[in-house]
């Protein structure tokens, strides 16, 4: 069996084992640090700003993700700030408060999985505390927003350069424009924003070019 199983599979295993409330049990074990969990993607919202991240398959030095800190489950289990717990879908969210007070961030995680061996041990009554990741400060703190601003600036500059030199055929597809701009940024050692984040910007740029002006570009989104 794979080391990591989906949230839906984990619920099914607990239900098949005779537990009457498998969702609450999974959440409690994860909060207590007995059950490791991971996510494939996250949405981080801070002071009306947000960013979406696809997580690496394994943790890196700069952040805990994809490992989910056990403190996240405390906030989910206690229904803090628009909490979401969709175990069958593997989607969870909560307003997370950081140590020291004053900072909080709404975090929504997708594609959540649980560690199969941890789960097996717990079902056999021999579970042990696991080392779990620690939260970093909000991704969208002032430093984080500066980083996001730099990425927007880089993408906008690369997009402007591309549309100045591209022919009409190259501008027909939003996907094609994104791919070219992202490739240019990657080759320059820059981190491009994801397609979902800049799709509307590219669409508007194409419409403005076709309409020959910003004023004429007040068009509906795709």
Residue pair 10/92 in contact by the 8 Å Cβ criterion: no
Distance CA 190, CA 200 (A): 21
Q: What is the DSSP letter of 174?
A: H
CB atoms within 10 A of CB 11: 19
Predicted pLDDT of residue 29: 96
- Strands, sheet with 84-86, edge to edge from the N-terminal-most edge strand: 49-54, 41-46, 104-110, 91-97, 84-86
| Host H or E run for residue 152 | helix 142-165
Residue pair 110/55 in contact by the 8 Å Cβ criterion: no
Residue 103 CB partners (closer than 8 Å, separation 6+): 97, 137, 138, 141
Q: What is the DSSP letter of 122?
A: H
Predicted pLDDT of residue 211: 66
- pLDDT < 50: residue spans in the chain: 1, 139-146, 213-222
Distance CA 25, CA 45 (A): 28
What does the pLDDT look like over 175-187, one tens digit per residue? Answer: 888 888 888 888 8
pTM for this model (two decimals): 0.61
Predicted pLDDT of residue 61: 66
Predicted pLDDT of residue 85: 95
């Amino acid at each position: 069996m794979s080391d990591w199983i989906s949230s839906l599979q984990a619920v099914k295993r607990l239900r098949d084992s005779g537990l009457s409330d498998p969702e609450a049990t999974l959440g409690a074990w994860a909060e207590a640090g007995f059950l490791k969990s991971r996510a494939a993607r996250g949405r981080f919202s801070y002071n009306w700003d947000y960013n979406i991240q696809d997580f690496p398959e394994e943790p890196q030095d700069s952040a805990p993700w994809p490992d989910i800190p056990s403190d996240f489950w405390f906030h989910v289990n206690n229904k803090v700030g628009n909490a979401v717990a969709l175990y069958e879908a593997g989607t969870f969210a909560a307003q997370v408060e950081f140590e020291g007070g004053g900072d909080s961030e709404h975090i929504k995680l997708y594609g959540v999985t649980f560690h199969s061996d941890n789960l097996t041990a717990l079902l056999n009554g021999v579970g042990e505390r696991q080392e779990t990741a620690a939260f970093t400060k909000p991704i969208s703190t002032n430093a984080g927003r500066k980083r996001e601003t730099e990425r927007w600036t880089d993408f906008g500059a690369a997009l402007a350069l591309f549309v100045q030199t591209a022919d009409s055929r190259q501008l027909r597809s939003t996907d094609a424009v994104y791919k070219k701009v992202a490739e240019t940024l990657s080759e320059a050692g820059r981190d491009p924003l994801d397609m979902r984040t800049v799709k509307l910007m590219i669409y508007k740029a194409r419409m403005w070019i076709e309409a020959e002006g910003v004023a004429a570009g007040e068009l509906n989104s795709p």
